[in-house]
């Protein structure tokens, strides 16, 4: 078993015989542990590699990065070191992780080794016009920020009910929302990478009205799948989502 490459990845190789890899980027406020159940769901032929971002979990003492382009640029080199051999790999990101996965794909194209598939979940296409009525979350006072987090139904209640845990979580949430809310889309050629967009039908920002617009950001194949539920629809549909991710990671093998 190869040792872990750098601080960006939370675990050693959990599937040493895998034919492909799936790098998973977390949503706002989360760490690599958001994907702790994925390897068992996906099985041994795809290695799940959760990405650990600065400022959380094992990297708690590190400063936050509040720029999506800077985060992607810093991650691209370590990811390619972790993407060992000539195995194909795919990227998956939920919410903020989707934005990071999109920017990371551009970085990897510049390196000459793009993923075989990009899977974005629960995030509106970043080229859509900014809605001036949208409230800036990262500047909300604490009580309103907590209410916003609670409404998304993605954070365990025991965290929201414990002031000590909440005190640790809120700075991470603010930094991650700042990353998303200060992002400015750069007009570039469409990705030469297959893209799948996933989301919940009741997600007001990344549902069936907006997700199809991801098609405009790829020149390769595109699929959109809408599930029942809200922003964290994937908690109730984890088997389906991991199945889609598995097939995407193995897509290159199916063509050879």
Residues with catalytic annotation? 95
Quickly list H helices, 161-228.
163-181
- The DSSP code for 193 is S
| Relative orientation angle of helices 68-82 and 96-111, to the nearest 10 degrees | 60
Residue 53 token pair: 């971002």
- Strands 89-94 and 117-121: what pairing? parallel
Distance from chain centroid for Cα 125: 13
Quick one: which of 43, 147, 21, 180 has its CA closest to 9?
Answer: 21
Q: Where are the beta strands (DSSP E) in 52-141?
A: 89-94, 117-121
CA 134 to mean position of chain CA atoms: 22
CA–CA distances in Å: residue 101 to residues 112, 153, 155: 16, 23, 22
CA 178 to centroid of chain Cα atoms: 16
Which helix (H) or strand (E) segment is 222 a member of? strand 222-227
């Amino acid at each position: 078993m190869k040792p872990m490459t750098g601080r960006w990845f939370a675990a050693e190789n959990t599937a040493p015989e895998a034919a492909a890899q799936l790098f998973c980027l977390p949503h706002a406020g989360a760490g690599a542990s958001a994907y702790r159940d994925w390897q068992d769901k996906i099985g041994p032929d795809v290695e799940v590699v959760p990405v650990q971002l600065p400022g959380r979990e094992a990297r708690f003492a590190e400063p936050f990065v509040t720029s999506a382009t800077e985060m992607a640029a810093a991650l691209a080199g370590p990811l390619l070191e972790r993407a060992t051999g000539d195995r194909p790999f795919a990227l998956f990101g939920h919410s903020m992780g989707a934005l990071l996965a999109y920017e990371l794909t551009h970085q990897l194209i510049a390196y000459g080794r793009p993923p075989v598939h990009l899977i974005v979940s629960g995030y509106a296409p970043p080229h859509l016009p900014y809605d001036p009525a949208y409230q800036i979350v990262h500047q909300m006072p604490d009580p309103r920020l907590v209410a916003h987090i609670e409404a998304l139904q993605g954070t365990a209640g025991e965290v929201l009910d414990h002031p000590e845990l909440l005190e640790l979580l809120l700075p991470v949430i603010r930094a991650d929302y700042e990353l998303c809310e200060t992002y400015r889309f750069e007009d570039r050629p469409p990705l030469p990478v297959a893209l799948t967009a996933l989301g919940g039908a009741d997600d007001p920002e990344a549902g069936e009205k907006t997700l199809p617009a991801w098609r405009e950001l790829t020149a390769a194949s595109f699929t959109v799948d809408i599930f029942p539920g809200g922003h964290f629809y994937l908690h109730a549909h984890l088997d389906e989502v991991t199945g889609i991710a598995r097939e995407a990671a193995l897509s290159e093998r199916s063509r050879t």
